[in-house]
């Protein structure tokens, strides 16, 4: 078996441990089915949407372009599950998240919604791109249990803020904040839709020289682990910047931990070093929702009294 | 739904992947799936000892309580109403590890309440020389247990019944076909495995576990290659009465030129015979008169007729050389109890062979027990390996379920398990 092979798209690939490092700048030979006009949104960036549109159908190919996101579930699902379990006094092991309402912002093809739904949660997945929502909906439709537990909407976070104030036990924004335009507004919206004491889970990429070298140059341009043009380094968010936006907007940061991807094995692992990828967990302080002009930091809140149902 | 499906189809990139390489023997699914067909999380095909134990283990597993599990078995329900007085002629040697698995879901207690025989020593020796090996535990603890297969099945069936809300069992069900989705799914193809039963019922499952024995239909339908050959041997089994009652806590096995003969204790007065020999000799043994049969057994264990002077002297020279290098306790060869009677109708034979599947797991299919590996009974490990498969597969599936994974996809199942097996080097 030669390690190099030519796929039928004329791309030369190195096959190693089921990871294909595709060297090609011709990946974008897809048809665009016409751009939909979106209302101006402070958080959604139309340029970002164009990139994801091209790959909408590829979400569920576990060896495909989104393989690293599939394997990231090994970290982020237990991260969400265990931190939410801490807030509940009695839970059943077979359905640890039952009774919880979770909002997945930027759900893409539903890669994270489905495991959370399998664990018993009622998940709402939103994504501004209609194609992603269609893919997600079609994928969950075959599983009768997930079909009932998950619902998808093609919209942005701001679109649903008003009707879902204080509805969710948890909001998940995984690999999303590095794509939004106005992070502060985004965080404020997250705060509004969360119940007091609810959790916000963010995974994103740090803004460092290392993340430029590895995350953009190596991952996108050389090895093709991430489709080219997915990320813009200027929009990466450092943990310090994230914290400085979370705390004044009604959140208490509980954990920030680094994540590391091994492109050869295809697996992620936790690490102390946050200079590449990291995950953050913050809890909305239990004081009632304040308006933007009157943010006060409430001292010493224990986020343990929570949202049971 | 059809309109939505067509729209999604239009978004697919032309030429993307539909012309990929076809795996031989794999049947493709095309066409849409009827609504309302039950979707199970796990279907276990085959209700033998290993299949039933698998269904039990999943049914009793805390992370599977909200999952739908189904066991398909071609035969009838095997719960023993009343324990028959005569012993069955098919017995298995259960290792302590297997006993731990069985007790993890409460089946071992039922076995203890029925009948079983622990043994403490094993003597294995040769017919042509003085070669001998003895197994025992230091404090003479139980090394293993001899249990009738019917007793194991009954205990498992009882524990399965205890979780009938989680595990559905269909007895007397024959499967006509298994169909897996192709590797490249489109909007209309169901991603699940489709199973068609002889009575016309159609099922879907996210993971199919093949526990249907060495002629596994699941293995054949999935296209997993099997390396196999028949040993030119049949095993003769019978239930024997000993000449006089004894502690009977030793398992005996002697390697004759024609094959190994083993005596496994069932009680203080009964032992089970497993004699692997050529097909002709086996047929002779099963049909000969009772006294001739008993004489054959006794002389197989006691006679030194196969010894030759050459081998004896070579053996004693080697023995001497070993004792010079490393003196060991020399174990005296003991002789097994003699047998006086055989249970009528307990004499039967079955052919032996070897089989090993090249892969144990593929997307949406896993093989356990004899479907994955079929061995000679001489080491008494066949069913124990099957129980070992169960314990590692259940551990893996349990963790995957707690992480919300789709059981049966590559990440949910294959990558981790295949990497542990020697078979994975056959891929690519």
| Domains of chain B and any CATH numbers | 38-303+335-420 (3.50.50.60)
- Using the structure block, give the residue that is written with the tokens 């849409």: B32
Q: What is the mean pLDDT of chain A?
A: 80
ipTM: 0.79
> pLDDT, tens digit, for every residue of A188-231?
999 999 999 999 999 999 999 888 888 888 888 888 888 888 88
Nearest CA in chain B to A138: B187
Query: Are A118 and A146 contacting, i.e. CB atoms less than 8 angstroms apart?
Result: yes
What chain A holds in terms of domains, given with CATH numbers, is: 46-284 (3.40.50.150)
Residues in B closer than 8 angstroms to A77, CB to CB, are 403-404
| Confidence (pLDDT) at B2 | 46
Is the minimum CB–CB distance between A63 and chain B shorter than 8 Å?
yes
CA angle B324, B326, B329 (to 5 degrees): 105
pLDDT at A298 over 60: no
Asked if B217 and B196 touch (Cβ cutoff 8 Å), the reply is no
- Running DSSP on this structure, what letter comes out for residue B98? H
B321 C-beta neighbours (distance < 10 Å), count: 9
* Segment A47-56 mean pLDDT: 71
Q: What is the pTM of this model?
A: 0.81
Chain A positions touching B185 (Cβ under 8 A) are: 60
**A95 vs A294, residue with greater confidence:** A95
A35 secondary structure, DSSP code: P
Report the alpha-carbon distance of residue B416 to residue B413 in Å, rounded. Answer: 6
> Is the Cβ pair B406, A114 closer than 8 Å?
yes
Provide the token pair at B364.
């949406």
CA distances from B372 to A34, B121, B375 (A): 51, 30, 10
pLDDT tens, residue order, chain B (428 aa): 444 444 444 444 443 334 334 444 444 444 444 445 789 999 999 999 999 999 999 999 999 998 999 999 999 987 778 889 999 999 999 999 999 999 999 999 999 999 999 999 999 999 888 888 888 887 778 899 999 999 999 999 999 999 999 999 999 999 999 999 877 666 678 889 999 999 999 999 999 999 999 999 999 999 999 999 999 999 999 999 999 998 889 999 999 999 999 999 999 999 999 999 999 999 999 999 999 999 999 999 988 887 777 888 888 888 888 878 876 665 667 888 999 999 988 999 999 999 999 999 998 999 999 999 999 999 899 999 999 999 999 999 999 999 999 988 865 566 666 655 543 333 33
Q: Test A135 with B8 for CB contact under 8 angstroms.
A: yes
What number is the average pLDDT over the span A247-259?
A: 94
Place of tokens 């009964």: B270
d(CA B345, CA B343): 6
- Distance (Å, whole) CA B296 – CA B285: 8
| HEC string for A226-276 | CCCCCCCHHHCCCHHHHHHHHHHHCEEEEEEEEEEEECCCCEEEEECCCCC
Interchain contact A142–B (C-beta under 8 A): yes
Quote the longest CA-to-CA distance of chain B. 86
Integer Cα distance of B154 and B165 in angstroms: 19
Phi, psi of B265 (to 5 degrees): -70, 135
pLDDT of amino acid B410: 66
Contact at CB, A57 and B63, closer than 8 angstroms? no
Residue from B36, B167, B404, B405 to probe the interface with A (highest A Cβ count within 10 Å): B404
A175 in a labelled binding site: yes
With beta carbons under 8 A apart, name residues in chain B contacting A141. 1
Among A9-18, A135-144, B243-252, the least confident range: A9-18
Q: Which residues pair with A21 in a beta bridge?
A: A14
Predicted local confidence at residue B321, as pLDDT: 84
A266 labeled part of a ligand binding site: no
Please check if A174 is assigned to a binding site.
Answer: yes
Check A9 against B402: CB less than 8 A apart.
no
Task: Between A51 and A22, name the one with better pLDDT.
Answer: A51
DSSP string, A103-150: EEET-TTTTTHHHHHHTT-EEEEEES-HHHHHHHHHHHTT-HHHHHHE
Nearest partner of A138 among A127, A152, A149, A126, judged by Cα: A152
pLDDT over 90 (residue A269): yes
**Minimal Cβ distance to B66: which of A18, A94, A138:** A94
Distance between CA atoms of residues B271 and B71, nearest Å: 33
């Amino acid at each position: 078996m030669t390690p190099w092979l030519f796929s039928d798209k004329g791309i030369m690939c190195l096959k190693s441990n089921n990871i294909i490092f595709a060297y090609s700048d011709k990946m974008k030979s897809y048809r665009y089915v016409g751009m939909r006009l979106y209302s101006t949104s402070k958080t959604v960036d139309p340029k970002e949407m164009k990139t994801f549109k091209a790959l909408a159908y590829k979400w569920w190919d576990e060896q495909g372009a989104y393989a690293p996101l599939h394997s990231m579930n090994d970290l982020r699902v237990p991260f969400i599950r265990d931190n939410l379990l801490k807030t509940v006094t009695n839970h059943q092991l077979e359905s640890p998240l039952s009774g919880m309402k979770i909002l997945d912002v930027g759900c893409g093809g539903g890669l994270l919604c489905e495991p959370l739904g399998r664990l018993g949660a009622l998940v709402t997945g939103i994504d501004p791109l209609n194609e992603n929502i269609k893919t997600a909906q079609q994928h969950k439709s075959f599983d009768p249990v997930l079909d009932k537990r998950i619902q998808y909407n093609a919209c942005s976070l701001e679109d649903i803020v008003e009707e879902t104030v204080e509805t969710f036990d948890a909001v998940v924004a995984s690999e999303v904040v590095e794509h939004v335009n106005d992070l502060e507004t985004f965080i404020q919206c997250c705060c509004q839709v969360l119940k007091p004491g609810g959790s916000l889970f963010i995974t994103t990429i740090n803004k460092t020289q290392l993340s430029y070298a590895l995350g953009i140059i190596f991952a996108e341009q050389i090895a093709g682990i991430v489709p080219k043009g997915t990320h813009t380094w200027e929009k990466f968010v450092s943990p310090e910047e994230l914290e400085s936006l979370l705390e004044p907007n009604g959140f208490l940061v509980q954990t920030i931990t680094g994540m590391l991807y091994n492109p050869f094995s295809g697996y992620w692992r936790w690490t102390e070093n946050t200079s590449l990828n990291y995950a953050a967990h913050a809890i909305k302080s239990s004081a009632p929702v304040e308006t933007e002009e009157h943010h006060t930091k409430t001292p010493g809140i224990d986020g343990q009294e929570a949202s049971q149902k | 739904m059809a309109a939505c499906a067509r729209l999604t189809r239009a978004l697919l990139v032309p030429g993307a992947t539909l012309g990929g390489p076809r795996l031989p023997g794999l049947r493709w699914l095309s066409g849409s799936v009827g609504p309302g067909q039950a979707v199970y999380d796990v279907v276990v095909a085959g209700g033998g000892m290993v299949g039933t134990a698998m269904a039990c283990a999943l049914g009793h597993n805390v992370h599977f309580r909200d999952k739908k599990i189904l066991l398909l078995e071609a035969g009838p329900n095997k719960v023993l109403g009343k324990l028959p007085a005569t012993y069955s002629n098919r017995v298995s040697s259960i290792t302590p590890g297997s006993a731990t698995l069985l007790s993890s879901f409460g089946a071992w207690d039922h076995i203890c309440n029925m009948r079983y025989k622990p043994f403490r020593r094993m003597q294995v020796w040769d017919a042509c020389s003085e070669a001998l090996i003895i197994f025992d535990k230091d404090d003479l603890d139980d090394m293993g247990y001899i249990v009738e297969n019917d007793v194991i099945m009954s205990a498992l069936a009882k524990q399965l019944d205890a979780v009938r809300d989680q595990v559905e069992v269909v007895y007397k069900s024959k499967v006509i076909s298994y169909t897996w989705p192709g590797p490249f799914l489109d909007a209309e193809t169901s991603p699940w495995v489709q199973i068609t039963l002889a009575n016309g019922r159609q099922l879907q499952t996210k993971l199919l576990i093949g526990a249907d024995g060495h002629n596994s239909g699941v293995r054949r339908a999935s296209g997993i290659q099997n390396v196999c050959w028949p040993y030119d041997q049949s095993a003769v089994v019978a239930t024997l009465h000993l000449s006089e009652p004894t502690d009977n806590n030793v398992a005996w096995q002697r390697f004759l030129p024609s094959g190994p003969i083993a005596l496994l204790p069932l009680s203080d007065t009964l032992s089970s015979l497993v004699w692997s020999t050529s097909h002709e000799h086996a047929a002779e043994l099963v049909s000969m008169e009772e006294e001739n049969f008993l004489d054959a057994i006794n002389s197989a264990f006691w006679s030194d007729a196969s010894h030759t002077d050459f081998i004896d002297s070579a053996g004693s020279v080697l023995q001497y050389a070993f004792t010079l290098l490393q003196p060991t306790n020399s174990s005296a060869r003991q002789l097994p109890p003699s047998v006086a009677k055989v249970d009528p109708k307990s004499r039967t034979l079955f052919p032996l062979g070897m089989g090993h599947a090249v892969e144990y797991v593929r997307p949406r299919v896993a093989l356990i027990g004899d479907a994955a590996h079929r061995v000679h009974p001489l080491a008494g490990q066949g069913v124990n390996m099957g129980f070992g498969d169960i314990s590692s597969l259940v551990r893996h599936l349990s963790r995957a379920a707690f992480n919300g994974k789709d059981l049966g996809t590559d990440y949910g199942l294959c990558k981790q398990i295949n990497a542990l097996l020697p078979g994975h080097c056959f891929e690519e």
